[in-house]
Amino acid sequence: MSTEPTNLREIGRIVAAHGVMGEMKVAPETDDPDRFLHLEVVFVGQDEISSSIFEIRSVRMQPSKHGITVILALEGISDRDSANEQRQMRIFARETDLPSLNPGEHYLSDLIGLTVKSVDGEVIGRVLDVFEFPAQHVLSVELSDGREIMIPAIPEFLRNIDTDRQVVTVSVIEGMC
């Protein structure tokens, strides 16, 4: 089933088939995996543009050594082979189907590409990616000279995120850059 995707947000990545009935293990890319429980449809593909819409048959949560794994079953994917074909595909949801953000909250994908500046206003680089680790999120930042550094997204380093101005302000410590 295909449709024109609009305003999609990545919420997970399919990592493996689960069982023989078409269920898939999904690594959630959200701080709240329970969001899957409230969705009726998701989009699956390599990116937003190439994704296809699927109705959700079932969702359940499974504890794993990495936290929570979402076990997802979609209409049209009914056996292990079909589920395996979806491996490494990304899962998206319409932004309108997700809960509203609270003030000061941001979608991690909105940070990618933002300019990174020091608290003194000096341009340091730009955000390449955001990694979710158990202790905290970490920004991967490409410096102006092409090197890449990691900055923990904790208040001591991450001072402000201004998506309107497209700037992340950080406290720089000696040896960081």
Segment 58-76, tens digit of pLDDT: 999 998 887 889 999 999 9
Q: How many domains does the chain have?
A: 2
For residue 84, the surrounding DSSP H or E stretch is helix 80-85
State which amino acid sits at residue 52.
Answer: S
Per-residue pLDDT band at 106 (split at 50, 70, 90): confident
How do beta strands 123-132 and 137-143 pair? antiparallel
Give the per-residue pLDDT at 139: 93
CB-CB contact of 7 with 32 (8 Å): no
Residue 69 maps to a domain: yes
* Residue 31: predicted pLDDT: 75
Same domain membership, residue 139 and residue 70: no
Q: What is the CATH number of the domain that holds 18?
A: 2.40.30.60
Structure tokens belonging to residue 36: 């899957």
SS3 for 139? strand
How many residues are recorded in the chain? 177
Is the domain of 62 the same as that of 125?
no
The model carries a pTM of 0.72
pLDDT of residue 25: 97
| Residues spanned by the domain of 34 | 8-96
Q: Tell me the helices (H) and strands (E) count for the chain, helix number first.
A: 2, 12
